[in-house]
Amino acid sequence: MSDVQQYDKLYIDGSWVQPDGTGTIDVINASTEEVMGSIPEGSAADVDRAVAAAVKAFPAWSATSPNDRAKYVQAISEGIAARNEEIAATICGEVGMPMFLSQLIQAGLPQAISGSFPSIVDDFVWEETVGNSLVVMEPLGVVGAITPWNYPLHQIILKVAPALAAGNTVVLKPSEVAPLNAFILAEIIDEIGLPDGVFNLVSGTGQVVGEAISAHPQIDMVSFTGSTNAGKRVAAVGAATVKRVALELGGKSANILLPSLEGDELVKAAKAAVGSAYLNSGQTCSALTRLLVPADKHDEIVEVLREEVESTYTIGDPATGAGRLGPLISATQRDRVRGYIQKGIDEGATLVTGGPEQPEDLPTGYYVKPTVFAGVRNDMTIAQEEIFGPVLSVIPYQSVDEAVEIANDSPYGLSGGVWGADADEAKAVARRIRTGGVEVNGGGYNPLAPFGGYKQSGNGREAGKYGLEEFLQAKAMHL
């Protein structure tokens, strides 16, 4: 990988083409604060060209068999695997995730997700007889995919892989903050010989390219991942043409430690809670950032958290593996998170460890100290708003019913966690939490399970057969 990755063309209709304008966007390394690459600043005219190519390619691509389409998606998986280290290093620079985690997560998950589709397609019920009707599942048409910066290639693949496998054509707008990985993906797609126009890449800002995709009358569906406010705008703009809109938005997820936990089990759950909040330096929409604990065990748990954070969750240069946590994505995000930390102090929460200051030994880079607040009330700003940084709020409760009430007292409903000495008890509480997913006693991420939210965390589901269904529509043929 060269020191500076410069891309000056967009990928439209199977070719690298000159953009409509001459503007470029610099990509900043989160650790060094230096320019690590640049991309074209696309325009609405570029979106028009990409959509025209996708519309032209749709009839032939949608007529291709699902198994043949899945073979192309499998080839994408193999291409990602072949460039694992390059992709990981690129995203390590763009986002700041330590290299060893970047290889496993930022490059590894997209490879696994795309590689899962041959078997998903093979098992999927593409048509069935219902009474005197044949019900067939058909692709929607042209899909606009607008993706975020925190898990950039993973979020791209969660949309592009099922959209292609379902028979749709795609116009992708990656985040302008972490876009270089999307250009590597376009190179992979070009190399595998995907038919012209089936996949198109238009980089640029949300205000221009994202807006044009959301509004375009020939785009049949927009799949968006990002902030809730931006998602509301995508939905509003998309409503004008009554296109399907899938939204995967923010979260403020609660992690409940039940009163039945004692001794080593309690310590294990408390330590795991830190990792559930801090993955990717807290830049994770499903992060479990509210830790709900029995009031009579609050102080004991807080001490476990303090020791775990201060001994294990070191921060440092992600490229060299100097820390467990890297920097945040940008100066804007760093300042935003520090503002929330100060807000927590101002509103009376107890600062256990961390704080809003720049780490003394890391004067350069968008670093934020891993922070824990104790004695948090659920009406505090730090308990209600998505911070998107390494900030954990500990909230005491008096009863399990109150814990469930606190967990559900949020405009969001993306994820959650429950830890209990008895698995059945934990599952019973998990059923009462109004979120799209719940980790029970530390259950791990499953790339074949549905991912998505309730309430203002969005609508629709990604991953596995559920993700494939999002990009299909049902037709009834009455016989």
Domain residues for 287?
Answer: 254-446
Q: Are residues 160 and 193 in the same domain?
A: yes
Q: What is the pLDDT of residue 1?
A: 42
Is residue 3 scored above 90 in pLDDT?
no
Is the C-alpha dihedral spanning 92, 97, 98, 100 positive or negative?
negative
Q: Are residues 97 and 200 in the same domain?
A: yes
Q: What is the pLDDT of residue 322?
A: 86
Q: Taking a C-beta distance cutoff of 8 angstroms, is the pair 227, 409 a contact? A: no
Q: What is the pLDDT of residue 4?
A: 86
pLDDT band, very low/low/confident/very high, at 321 (cuts 50, 70, 90): confident
Q: Are residues 150 and 74 in the same domain?
A: yes
Q: What is the pLDDT of residue 2?
A: 47
Q: What percent of the chain has pLDDT over 70?
A: 100
Q: Which CATH number goes with the domain that contains 24?
A: 3.40.605.10
User: pLDDT averaged over the chain?
Assistant: 97
Q: Which of 190, 236, 176, 181 is nearest to 211 (CA)?
A: 236
Q: Which CATH number goes with the domain that contains 297?
A: 3.40.309.10
pTM summary value: 0.96
Q: Are residues 225 and 335 in the same domain?
A: no
The answer to whether residue 240 is domain-embedded is yes
How far apart, in whole angstroms, are the C-alpha atoms of residue 54 and residue 435? Answer: 35
Q: Are residues 226 and 311 in the same domain?
A: no
Number of domains present in the structure of the chain: 2
Q: What is the pLDDT of residue 336?
A: 97
Helices and strands, number each (H, E), in the chain = 17, 23
Q: Are residues 68 and 113 in the same domain?
A: yes
Is residue 294 scored above 80 in pLDDT?
yes
Beta bridge partners of 425: none
The answer to whether residue 452 is domain-embedded is no
The answer to whether residue 327 is domain-embedded is yes
Q: Are residues 391 and 282 in the same domain?
A: yes
Is residue 193 scored above 70 in pLDDT?
yes
The answer to whether residue 441 is domain-embedded is yes
The stretch 453-476 carries a mean pLDDT of 97
Q: Are residues 281 and 404 in the same domain?
A: yes
pLDDT tens digits for 12-37? 999 999 999 899 999 999 999 999 99
Q: Are residues 324 and 437 in the same domain?
A: yes
The answer to whether residue 116 is domain-embedded is yes
Q: Are residues 27 and 148 in the same domain?
A: yes
Q: Are residues 69 and 167 in the same domain?
A: yes
Q: 371-374 and 350-353 as β-strands: parallel, antiparallel, unpaired?
A: antiparallel
Catalytically active residues, by annotation? 248, 285
Cβ neighbour number for residue 142 with a 10 Å cutoff: 28
Q: Which amino acid is at 438?
A: V
pLDDT tens digits for 340-392? 999 999 999 999 999 999 999 999 999 999 999 999 999 999 999 999 999 99
pLDDT tens digits for 39-79? 999 999 999 999 999 999 999 999 999 999 999 999 999 99
Residue 408 to residues 13, 400, 420, 427: CA-CA distances in angstroms? 46, 12, 18, 16
| DSSP-derived secondary structure for 349-384 | -EEEE--SSPPTT--SSS----EEEES--TTSHHHH
Cβ neighbour number for residue 432 with a 10 Å cutoff: 16
pLDDT band, very low/low/confident/very high, at 223 (cuts 50, 70, 90): very high
Q: Are residues 74 and 199 in the same domain?
A: yes
Q: Taking a C-beta distance cutoff of 8 angstroms, is the pair 146, 210 a contact? A: yes
The answer to whether residue 211 is domain-embedded is yes
Is residue 93 scored above 70 in pLDDT?
yes
The answer to whether residue 451 is domain-embedded is no
Instruction: Round to the nearest angstrom and report the end-to-end CA distance of the chain.
Output: 58
pLDDT tens digits for 155-169? 999 999 999 999 999
Q: What is the pLDDT of residue 406?
A: 98
